[in-house]
């Protein structure tokens, strides 16, 4: 009897879980479907779900009209660059917070996180003006720097949580074995924290890849990443849903594929090391 | 060489002074054991010597040179931790090689020392395994191997055997003593287990609340404890302590008699009592006797394993007068 109840429960949970997952995934699915429709089918009422003439013409037009590869390269450079820079700064920072905490360490951690609550637009003008002044507007370097700063609190927090799980005695053993601070971090701490560092890197590449506010406001042509590429299709010429969808699909495809293959690490990353 | 001198060394965490100014000299080649109840500051003292904690005052000298501000990596000491603290991502071979790699030793010298250490510690077949694939005893041997190969001025052991089961603990105790005989290097060993202290040490340092209660060889401490704390702490089973008329008659506030310095009789003696629990070890039996003068009290006596006594039997105990320890009202030994 108990078994029957639990099977029934399982069925309900499964249906509910699938429904929620489909609801969340639906916009992406719809975008991908729309990208294969003609412009007429895309705005058909009632909407066509699968029964339409599949076409690749949107992709051809998008590729012809704008240089996808350049946007892609900018996205890769900005996402990877800002993550690499962030990790370089965050590893020593998280090390000191986890293993030699001071009286204010907890406060600093919370204060760092609180900067994420600040509406970004509040500092848009100062930053934009500074970049113009320095002649750095629409450069990849500037965007890498800004995104590093924006994601740094999250990177430090995640690494801090992972480092906290490493027993301090092992680092002390390294110190007793004659390791300098650099060797201790390089040969003992980092290899032990590889899973944590990997999820941190993955999550931050995704955050940087998806970032739209700063990349839209601080770039125009040269440094524009894929988010700007999508935005350029909601243009003054009117809305072309099918082409917009094709552009969007092309923009999100790389990160979607990466996310698919690294699901495990991502879940670990998002739960901040709470789940093993 | 490994002569360690602590000169007025003091440690406070915030406002809490865990070790008031303390003087101690550890001679080169000595096996010194810090022993005391948990929280007595023995591990903190070891970590001060290691450099893993900074002193709040005083000076630490290693071979005459001031090491107070020298970082742990540069003190030339090796440490074995309670949790073993092996590098989980490295093979046994790489774990053992790590201190030599840090010191930049040539590869052939590293290999030679690893082979020698592995042979001495029975680890030759495990060199390519990870620590996670080893048993507790093997892990502890790897930790010792890692300490040996750097040929330190002194070894520091922080309760290295407390994670092992009883049988293994005894074996490792012998191995560490053997190692000391062979290397003749200074060893400082922290434990709360007075049996480990008695069996391994050249010199025992008994600590309580950060204060040294007594320093001496195991038998000195056993035969002439300086105060009641040491008398009660060293020796297993514990010394029997009596106050009142028996002590006053002998000109003391408290007297102590060890279990083996009491004789038992079924007919007559100094103190009458009834037998409570009997612990049979085979060779010896420890009888717990409730004296008639104070039945809630328990006195322990060691008798030969062939002696038979049943629960509730009436017996008489007589102390050997020349083995009675006398203490004054402050708990200090009366010479």
Q: What is the ipTM of this complex?
A: 0.84
Chain B contact for A175, CB < 8 A? yes
Q: How confident is the model over A36-53, as a mean pLDDT?
A: 80
Same domain, A97 and A32: no
Answer yes or no: do A201 and A231 share one domain.
yes
Show the 3-state SS of A121-172. HHHHHHHHHHHHHHCCCCCHHHHHHHHHHHHHHHHHHHHHHHHHCCCHHHHH
Residue B219 · residue B180 · CB < 8 Å: no
User: Å from A174 to nearest chain B CA?
Assistant: 8
Q: Residues 246..305 of B with a Cβ closer than 8 Å to A: which?
A: none
Last residue of a domain, one of B192, B215, B232: B232
Which of B232, B263, B278 corresponds to the end of one domain? B232
Confidence at residue B87, expressed as pLDDT on a 0 to 100 scale: 93
Same domain for B241 and B322? yes
Residues A33 and A89 in one domain: no
Judged against a pLDDT cut of 60, whether residue B188 lies above it is answered with yes
pLDDT recorded at residue A269: 60
Q: Quick one: A137 and A34 in the same domain?
A: no
Asked if the Cβ–Cβ distance from A167 to B85 is below 8 Å, we say: yes
Across the A/B interface, how many CB contacts are shorter than 8 Å? 62
Q: Do A169 and B81 touch (CB under 8 A)?
A: yes
pLDDT digits (tens, 9 = 90+) for B150-169: 889 999 999 999 888 888 88
pLDDT at A3 over 80: no
Q: What is the mean pLDDT of residues B43-62?
A: 93
Q: Same domain, yes or no, for A69 and A194?
A: yes
The verdict on B270 and B256 lying in the same domain is yes
Cα torsion for B170, B171, B173, B179, to the nearest 10°?
170
In a domain, B57, yes or no: yes
pLDDT at A7 over 90: no
Q: Is the pLDDT of residue A191 over 70?
A: yes
- In this structure, the answer to whether residues A66 and A54 fall within a common structural domain is no
For residue B326, what pLDDT is reported? 93
Chain mean pLDDT for chain A: 85
Residues A32, A98, single domain; the answer is no
Which pair of structure tokens corresponds to residue B154? Answer: 């002194």
Given a cut of 90, is residue B56 above it in pLDDT?
Answer: yes
pLDDT of B41 > 80? The answer is yes
The CATH number linked to B297 is 2.40.50.140
Q: What pLDDT does residue A248 have? A: 86
Mean per-residue pLDDT, A21-29: 92
Domain annotation covers residue A47: yes
**Counted domains in chain A:** 2
Write down the pLDDT at residue A238: 63
Of B183, B202, B232, the residue at which a domain comes to its end is B232
Contact A173 B103 (CB under 8 A): no
B43 shares its domain with B168: yes
Q: Could you please report the per-residue DSSP string of B13-65? A: ETTEEEEEEEEEEE-TT-EEEEE-STTSSHHHHHHHHHTSS--SEEEEEETTE
Q: pLDDT digit string (tens) for B105-123?
A: 999 999 999 999 999 888 9
Asked if A169 has any chain B CB less than 8 Å from its own CB, the reply is: yes
B77, B187: one domain = yes
* B188 and B201 both lie in a single domain: yes
Same domain, B227 and B272: no
Residues A143 and A265 in one domain: yes
Are B290 and B208 within one domain? no
- Whether the predicted pLDDT of A272 surpasses 60: no
Q: Which residues of B touch A183 (CB under 8 A)?
A: 102
Based on the domain organization, do A122 and A195 belong to the same domain? yes
- Domain assignment present for residue B333? The answer is no
Residue A173, domain extent? 61-270
Q: Please check whether residue A169 lies inside any domain of the structure.
A: yes
Residues 6+ apart with CB under 8 A from B61: B4, B5, B7, B67
Percent of chain A surpassing pLDDT 70? 93
Measured in angstroms, the CA of A173 and the nearest CA of chain B are apart by: 6
Contacts of B139 in chain A (CB under 8 A): none
Into how many domains does chain B fold? 2
User: Of A92-96, A265-269, B284-288, B312-316, which range is least confident?
Assistant: A265-269
pLDDT at A255: 86
Q: Distance of alpha carbon A67 from its chain centroid, rounded?
A: 23
Contact across the interface for B79 and A173, Cβ inside 8 Å: yes
Distances in Å between the alpha carbon of A47 and those of A19, A39, A41, A52, B323? 20, 12, 8, 10, 103
Q: Is residue B31 part of a domain?
A: yes
- pLDDT score of A1 more than 60: no
Write out pLDDT tens, residues A123-150.
888 988 998 899 888 888 999 999 999 8
Q: Is B86 on the interface with A (CB under 8 A)?
A: yes
Based on the domain organization, do B190 and B245 belong to the same domain? no
Question: What residues of B are in contact with residue A173 (Cβ under 8 Å)?
Answer: 79, 81, 85-87, 146
Predicted confidence (pLDDT) at residue A231 exceeds the cutoff of 60: yes
Phi, psi of B34 (to 5 degrees): -90, 120
The set of residues, in sequence order, having a beta carbon less than 8 Å from that of A128 and lying 6+ positions away, is: A137, A217, A218
DSSP structure class, residue B260: G
Instruction: Give exposure, B156-195, as e/b (b: 16+ Cβ within 10 Å).
Output: bbbbbbebbeeebbeebbebbeebbeeeebbbbbbbbbbe
Flag whether pLDDT at A275 surpasses 50. Answer: no
Q: What are phi and psi of B23, to 5 degrees?
A: -115, 140
A192 close to B (CB below 8 A): yes
Contact (Cβ atoms closer than 8 angstroms) between residue A185 and residue A92:
yes
What distances in angstroms separate CA B73 from CA A48, A190, B157, one per listed residue? 71, 19, 16
Residue A236 forms contact with B (CB below 8 Å):
no
Q: What confidence score (pLDDT) does residue A5 get? A: 67
Answer whether B70 touches A (CB < 8 Å).
no
Which pLDDT band, with edges at 50, 70 and 90, does A224 fall under? Answer: confident
**Does residue A263 sit in the same domain as residue A131?**
yes
Distance from C-alpha of B72 to C-alpha of B79, rounded to nearest angstrom: 10
Residue A271: predicted pLDDT: 60
Residue A177 has pLDDT above 60, yes or no: yes
B175 and B268 in a single domain? The answer is no
Do the domain assignments include residue B335?
A: no
**What CATH number is associated with residue B29?**
3.40.50.300
Q: Answer whether A182 touches B (CB < 8 Å).
A: no
A237 inside domain: yes
Q: Are residues B141 and B223 in the same domain?
A: yes
| Rounded mean pLDDT, A47-66 | 81
For residue A273, is pLDDT > 50?
no
Q: Is residue A275 part of a domain?
A: no
User: In this predicted structure, what is the pLDDT of residue A237?
Assistant: 58
Cβ distance B52 to A183 less than 8 Å, yes or no, reads: no
Span B263-287, mean pLDDT? 90
Is the confidence at residue A219, as pLDDT, over 90? no
Could you tell me if A24 and A83 lie in one domain? Answer: no
A246, part of any domain: yes
CA nearest B154 in A: which residue? A176
Cross-chain residue pair A180–B73, CB shorter than 8 Å: yes
Q: Which domain holds residue B34?
A: 4-232
Same domain, yes or no, for B251 and B211?
no
Both tokens assigned to B11: 């440690």
pLDDT at A270 over 70: no
Q: What is the reported pLDDT for B91?
A: 93
Output the pLDDT for position A226. 85
| For residue B139, pLDDT beyond 80 | yes
**CB distance A175–B150 less than 8 Å?**
no
pLDDT digits (tens, 9 = 90+) for A98-130: 988 888 888 998 898 888 888 888 888 898 899
The answer to whether residue A105 is domain-embedded is yes
Give dist(CA A80, CA A205) in Å, integer.
6
Do B173 and B242 lie in one domain? The reply is: no
**What CATH number is attached to the domain comprising A140?**
1.10.3720.10
Q: Do B87 and A170 touch (CB under 8 A)?
A: yes
The reply to whether residue A177 touches residue B99, judged by beta carbons under 8 angstroms, is: yes
């Amino acid at each position: 009897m108990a078994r029957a109840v639990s099977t029934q429960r399982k069925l309900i949970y499964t249906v509910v879980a699938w429904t929620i997952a489909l609801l969340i995934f639906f916009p992406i699915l719809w975008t991908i479907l729309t990208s294969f429709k003609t412009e007429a089918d895309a705005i058909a009422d009632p909407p066509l779900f699968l029964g339409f003439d599949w076409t690749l013409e949107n992709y051809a037009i998008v590729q012809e009209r704008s240089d996808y590869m350049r946007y892609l390269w900018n996205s890769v450079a900005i996402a990877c660059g800002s993550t690499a820079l962030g990790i370089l700064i965050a590893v020593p920072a998280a090390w000191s917070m986890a293993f030699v905490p001071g009286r204010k360490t907890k406060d600093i951690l919370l204060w760092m996180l609180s900067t994420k609550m600040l509406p970004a637009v509040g500092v848009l003008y100062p930053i934009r003006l500074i970049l113009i002044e320095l002649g750095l507007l629409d450069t990849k370097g500037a965007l890498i720097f800004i995104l590093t700063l924006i994601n740094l609190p999250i990177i430090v927090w995640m690494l801090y949580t992972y480092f906290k799980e490493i027993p301090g005695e092992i680092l002390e053993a390294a110190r007793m074995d004659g390791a300098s601070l650099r060797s201790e971090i390089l040969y003992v701490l980092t290899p032990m924290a590889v899973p944590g560092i990997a999820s941190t890197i993955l999550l931050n590449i995704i955050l940087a890849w998806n970032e739209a506010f700063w990349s839209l406001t601080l770039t125009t042509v040269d440094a524009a990443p894929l988010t700007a590429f999508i935005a350029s299709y909601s243009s003054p010429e009117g809305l072309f849903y099918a082409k917009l969808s094709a552009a969007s699909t092309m923009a999100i495809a790389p990160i979607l594929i990466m996310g698919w293959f690294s699901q495990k690490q991502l879940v670990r990353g998002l739960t901040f090391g709470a789940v093993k | 060489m490994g002569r360690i001198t602590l000169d007025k060394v003091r440690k406070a965490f915030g406002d809490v002074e865990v070790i008031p100014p303390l003087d101690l000299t550890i001679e080169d080649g000595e096996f010194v054991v810090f022993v005391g109840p948990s929280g007595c500051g023995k591990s903190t003292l070891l970590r001060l010597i290691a450099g893993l904690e900074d002193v709040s005052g005083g000076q630490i000298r290693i071979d005459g040179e001031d090491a107070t501000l020298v970082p742990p990596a540069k003190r030339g000491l090796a440490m074995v931790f309670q949790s073993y603290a092996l590098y989980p991502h490295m093979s046994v071979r790489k774990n053992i090689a790590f201190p030599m790699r840090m010191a930049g030793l040539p590869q052939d010298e590293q290999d030679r020392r690893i082979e020698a250490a592995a042979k001495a510690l029975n680890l030759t077949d495990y060199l390519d395994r990870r620590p996670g694939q080893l048993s507790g005893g093997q892990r502890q041997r790897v930790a010792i191997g890692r300490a040996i190969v750097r040929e330190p001025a002194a070894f520091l052991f922080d309760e290295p055997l407390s994670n092992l089961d009883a049988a293994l603990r005894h074996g490792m105790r012998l191995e560490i003593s053997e190692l000391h005989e062979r290397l003749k290097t200074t060893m400082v060993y922290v434990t709360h287990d007075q049996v480990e202290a008695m069996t391994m040490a050249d010199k025992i340092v008994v600590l309580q609340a950060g204060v040294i209660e007594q320093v001496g060889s195991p038998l000195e401490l056993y035969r002439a404890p300086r105060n009641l704390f040491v008398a009660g702490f060293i020796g297993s089973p514990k010394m029997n302590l009596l106050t009142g008329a028996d002590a006053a008659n002998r000109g003391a506030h408290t007297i102590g008699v060890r279990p083996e310095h009491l004789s038992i009789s079924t007919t007559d003696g100094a103190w009458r009592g009834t037998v409570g629990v009997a612990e049979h070890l085979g060779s010896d039996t420890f009888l717990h006797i409730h004296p008639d003068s104070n039945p809630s009290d328990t006195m322990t006596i060691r008798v030969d394993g062939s002696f038979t006594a049943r629960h509730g039997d009436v017996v008489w105990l007589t102390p050997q007068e020349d083995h009675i320890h006398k203490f004054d009202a402050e708990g200090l030994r009366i010479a």
